[in-house]
A and B are shown apart, each in its own frame.
Chain A
Amino acid sequence: MSTGEDTNAQRPDTAAASPPASQWAIELEKINKRFGEVHANKDIDLKVERGTIHGIVGENGAGKSTLMSILYGFYTADSGTIKVDGQERRITDSRHALALGIGMVHQHFMLVDNFTVLENVVLGVEDSAFIAPSLKRARGELDRIEHEYNLEVDPDAVIEDISVGQQQRVEILKALYRGAQTLILDEPTGVLTPNEAADLFRVLETLREQGKTIILITHKLREIMAITDNVSVMRQGEMVRTLKTSETNPEELAELMVGRRVLLRVDKAQAQPGKTLLEVKNLVVADDLGVVRVKDVSFSVRAGEIVGIAGVSGNGQSELLEAVSGMRDQRSGTVVMNGRELELKGDDGAARARLAGLAHVPEDRQRMGLVTNFQEWENAILGYQDRPEFGAGMFLDIQAAQREAEARIAQFDIRPASFRLKTANFSGGNQQKIVLAREMERNPDVLVVGQPTRGVDIGAIEFIHNEIIRMRDAGKAILLVSVELDEIRSLADRILVMFDGRIVGEADPATASEGELGLMMAGVTNGDAAGTEARP
């Protein structure tokens, strides 16, 4: 492996000059990859046509990312062949993939946070032992690429100071600078506002016009329908089918992904809101560094309604959730439940909130919702272990706890149905069901839910959404926080948009357009963009 000197093939100009030899930019044949017991890719065939946008959809763990990591040289396949521009290649590492004109924009950006844009761009493709000439050349080259593709970024900005959307542009610039002809994007819109996503799609379309090939990995069927030319569906490590996007529809794709019919739209009746159960008044919350993240937020949730809080991740939603559920002390303001003010300060604030009938499904199930090293039954009672039904005094009634766990496993269809299994060994969707089952079945008055379906399969999403609706119809007040705008729009009866720690607007999901919400999420407010008091 070369350690220092760069090959000519990595220069942008030479890679661009290689003549197209085949109609197919990428051809994968019979790719297999195992990780221990898991057969992540089984005999995968995939052909990607040059100059198209090719979508790859599949649930979590379907093997999409593994397949792309093989193409990008991050892993090597156990067997199978890879052809780039019609020629068979062995891609042994990322450097090699780059040299063949394959660039990747990872879901979690591969950027060095305290480097400038320019430094990030040249990292790994420096021209010589001293970086000054590389930086100079990169500056000129970036200027050209930025104009060609309409991708504006300040080359001297430090990564940690720029927005996530801008960081993603840097990743794209990085790939283009390395001469990428084929660009792989792994879940690119997960961290973007709707407007940023629209910008990204415009950039992708420009790239396609310039003859680049784009592989788009996503689980959002709407994006597939909107931008791709072809789409391949993966399920459980296998390639199920490749279709022309114009000849398919979201329902068919969802069915192919899950292997059975899935209801994409949440089926729910009109909300019947009753009396106000949860009231948050003038809440101010600071994060661990003392930065105020929730700035004077007030709202209320009534019995039998779901209030959704939309917003781009990192605008204070996490701190709001933590404060309302008693995990984080508020600076000022009050949380009132059933007309009584909750005393949430102190280390046992969360316990007091639970006792008062406020259940909480935290955003991050692995860090806050579960002790993943515990067996399932232990997690099934966590937070409620002091209740009399699970034992008296200092002793735990293990039998009772396990009976409880068994009942919930059956009721929520948690798989595998074994309460002795270590929680870490359940899939994301099943872990989430464990948390939901625990919190919902204590019959709380108020349910606070954060990111209920993050990293959860479509099939489980359907189940979880229906359970949340069931709670609503049982007359509970539900506060839902999610960065998935689609989820908020389909579940919530009322949408509050949070930006920079404030509620910047309220909207009726039935009438508000995605564009309106997107503007609010980006902090653009003009009096009438926010919906009025829309109540049935």
Chain B
Amino acid sequence: MTLAVILSTLDATIRLSTPLLLACLAGLYSERSGVFDIGLEGKMLAAAFAAAAVAAVSGSMWLGLAAGMTVSLGTALLQGLAAITLKGNQLIAGVAINMLAAGLTTFLGQTWFRQGGRTPALGPGERFEPVTLPLARELSGVPILGPIYADLVSGHYVLVYIAFIMVPVTAYVLYRTRFGLRVRAVGENPKAVDTAGISVTLMRYQAVIITGLLCGIAGAYFSIAQGSGFGNNMTAGKGYIALAALIFAKWKPVPAMFTCLLFGFLDALQIRLQSARLPVIGEVPVQAIQALPYVLTVVLLAGFIGKAVGPKAGGVAYTKER
């Protein structure tokens, strides 16, 4: 394997990990506050659609991103209303969001744009372009480090950098700030938080708002960065994989990043393997290879983490008891 092949696989790994990472960190806030979020997928899908639609109509990727984040935030608040205020079942609230997003995006897409549920292809200025970091071209001649900097570190969408910067930011917020302390506390023992004179409801809404915003960025990444336009069900279960990554990382930000990179790597490998002929087996059916990351997700979750103990109060709406 040459350096170029390795670099291009790793490059793809970063691109494919980014939405997972954003969604995973999004879920981390919500779940750490005690609201289980199976609706990451739906929020991303809704955001992807809104971002592409607004970008296509307005001609601005930034307005597209804002629209994606707004729609995802609205969806998150709807889910929050059901799960926090109305004390509904959190799983069902999430599933409802996913189904709503799957149906509504296709329906609105078809109604508005009449392209089989797709949004129009985006041109320059309507979608994000890769950013070339300073000196990338100049340094590309330096052996080994040059290409790593030029091809691997440089040349990504700005959203990719945002995603990876969010990792230390999240770790800092969670472990070093008052907000983080309270979020962690409210997911473990909401009654302790309540008796300390802090509103459980308010804390959980704040966490869910962050979840909505991050999911919005993740969704926009699909349609106006990685892709150029929205396609039916374009998030393809990535929200669930992000959720799996979150559990695998035991709800911690830095392990979450590595887990998302691992899942991204599996995805990149899968793409590379599609054209390859393996010894003995010969050409493996594309579908089998495509299934690989998902199969590995199940294997990892089942076999490697042991018992994942999540936030203790997760999944349960808080009610003051008599």
Q: Is the CB of B188 within 8 A of A98?
A: no
Q: Is the CB of A115 within 8 A of B197?
A: no
B277 at the interface (CB under 8 A from A): no
User: Considering only CB atoms, which chain A residue lies closest to B313 in the complex?
Assistant: A112
Q: Which of A35, A93, A119, A122 contacts B197 (CB 8 A)?
A: A93
B112 to chain A minimum Cβ distance, whole angstroms, is: 40
Q: Which of B21-29, B67-75, B173-181 contacts A (4 or more CB under 8 A)?
A: B173-181
Chain A residues positioned under 8 Å from B188 (CB to CB): 112-115
The residue among A93, A95, A112, A125 with the most chain B CB atoms within 10 A of its own CB is A112
Q: Is the CB of B184 within 8 A of A115?
A: yes
CA distance A498 to B195 in the complex (A): 35
Within A1-38, the residues touching B (CB, 8 Å) are 1, 3-4, 35
Chain B residues positioned under 8 Å from A3 (CB to CB): 199, 202
Quick one: given A112-B184, A112-B185, A131-B177, are A123 and B195 in contact (CB under 8 Å)? no
Q: Is the CB of B176 within 8 A of A130?
A: yes
Q: Is the CB of A110 within 8 A of B185?
A: no
A6 to chain B minimum Cβ distance, whole angstroms, is: 10
Q: Is the CB of B196 within 8 A of A110?
A: yes
Q: Is the CB of B182 within 8 A of A123?
A: yes
Quick one: given A3-B202, A129-B177, are A123 and B192 in contact (CB under 8 Å)? yes
Q: Is the CB of A111 within 8 A of B322?
A: no
Within B188-214, the residues touching A (CB, 8 Å) are 188-189, 191-199, 202
A411 to chain B minimum Cβ distance, whole angstroms, is: 32
Chain B residues positioned under 8 Å from A114 (CB to CB): 188
Q: Is the CB of B192 within 8 A of A98?
A: no
CA distance A75 to B320 in the complex (A): 9
B182 to chain A minimum Cβ distance, whole angstroms, is: 7
A74 at the interface (CB under 8 A from B): yes
User: Considering only CB atoms, which chain A residue lies closest to B197 in the complex?
Assistant: A95
A106 at the interface (CB under 8 A from B): yes
CA distance A98 to B194 in the complex (A): 12
Q: Is the CB of B312 within 8 A of A130?
A: no
Q: Is the CB of B189 within 8 A of A124?
A: no
Chain B residues positioned under 8 Å from A220 (CB to CB): none
CA distance A93 to B195 in the complex (A): 8
Q: Which of A74, A98, A132 contacts B176 (CB 8 A)?
A: A132
**Count of residues in A whose CB is under 8 Å from the partner chain:** 36
Quick one: given A111-B189, A113-B312, A126-B178, are A104 and B195 in contact (CB under 8 Å)? yes
A249 at the interface (CB under 8 A from B): no
0 or 1 for each of A121-147: is its CB under 8 Å from B? (1 = yes): 011111011111010000000000000
Chain B residues positioned under 8 Å from A132 (CB to CB): 176
User: Considering only CB atoms, which chain B residue lies closest to A10 in the complex?
Assistant: B197
A73 to chain B minimum Cβ distance, whole angstroms, is: 8
CA distance A73 to B196 in the complex (A): 11
A331 at the interface (CB under 8 A from B): no
The residue among B181, B184, B197 with the most chain A CB atoms within 10 A of its own CB is B197
Quick one: given A112-B189, A113-B188, are A128 and B178 in contact (CB under 8 Å)? yes
Q: Which of B181, B184, B189 contacts A110 (CB 8 A)?
A: B189
A422 at the interface (CB under 8 A from B): no
Chain B residues positioned under 8 Å from A35 (CB to CB): 322
0 or 1 for each of B303-314: is its CB under 8 Å from A? (1 = yes): 000000000100
CA distance A134 to B177 in the complex (A): 10
Q: Is the CB of B192 within 8 A of A119?
A: no
Chain A residues positioned under 8 Å from B202 (CB to CB): 3
Q: Is the CB of A112 within 8 A of B199?
A: no
Within B274-292, the residues touching A (CB, 8 Å) are none
CA distance A275 to B193 in the complex (A): 56
Q: Is the CB of B177 within 8 A of A94?
A: no
Q: Which of B178, B194, B197, B322 contacts A130 (CB 8 A)?
A: B178
Quick one: given A112-B188, A114-B188, are A123 and B181 in contact (CB under 8 Å)? yes
B190 to chain A minimum Cβ distance, whole angstroms, is: 10
0 or 1 for each of A76-102: is its CB under 8 Å from B? (1 = yes): 000000000000000001111010000
Chain B residues positioned under 8 Å from A128 (CB to CB): 178
Q: Is the CB of A94 within 8 A of B184?
A: no
Q: Is the CB of A123 within 8 A of B193?
A: yes
CA distance A113 to B185 in the complex (A): 9
B208 to chain A minimum Cβ distance, whole angstroms, is: 16
0 or 1 for each of A411-427: is its CB under 8 Å from B? (1 = yes): 00000000000000000
CA distance A4 to B202 in the complex (A): 11
0 or 1 for each of B103-125: is its CB under 8 Å from A? (1 = yes): 00000000000000000000000
Q: Is the CB of B178 within 8 A of A94?
A: no
Q: Which of B178, B180, B195, B199 contacts A74 (CB 8 A)?
A: B195
Within B146-166, the residues touching A (CB, 8 Å) are none
Q: Which of A74, A108, A119, A134 contacts B320 (CB 8 A)?
A: A74
B1 to chain A minimum Cβ distance, whole angstroms, is: 43
Chain A residues positioned under 8 Å from B180 (CB to CB): 131
CA distance A128 to B196 in the complex (A): 16
Q: Is the CB of A110 within 8 A of B195?
A: yes
B297 to chain A minimum Cβ distance, whole angstroms, is: 26
Q: Is the CB of B178 within 8 A of A106?
A: no
Q: Is the CB of A1 within 8 A of B199?
A: yes
A43 to chain B minimum Cβ distance, whole angstroms, is: 20
Q: Is the CB of A94 within 8 A of B199?
A: no
Chain A residues positioned under 8 Å from B320 (CB to CB): 74-75
What are 21 sample pairs from A and B whose C-beta atoms fall under 8 A apart? A1-B199, A74-B194, A94-B196, A95-B198, A110-B191, A110-B196, A112-B184, A113-B189, A114-B188, A115-B188, A120-B192, A123-B185, A123-B196, A124-B182, A124-B196, A124-B197, A129-B179, A130-B176, A131-B178, A131-B180, A132-B176
Chain A residues within 8 Å of B, Cβ to Cβ: 1, 3-4, 35, 66, 72-75, 93-96, 98, 104, 106, 108, 110-115, 119-120, 122-126, 128-132, 134
Q: Which 5 A-B pairs have the closest CB atoms?
A: A95-B197, A124-B196, A110-B192, A126-B178, A94-B197
Chain B residues within 8 Å of A, Cβ to Cβ: 176-182, 184-185, 188-189, 191-199, 202, 312, 320, 322
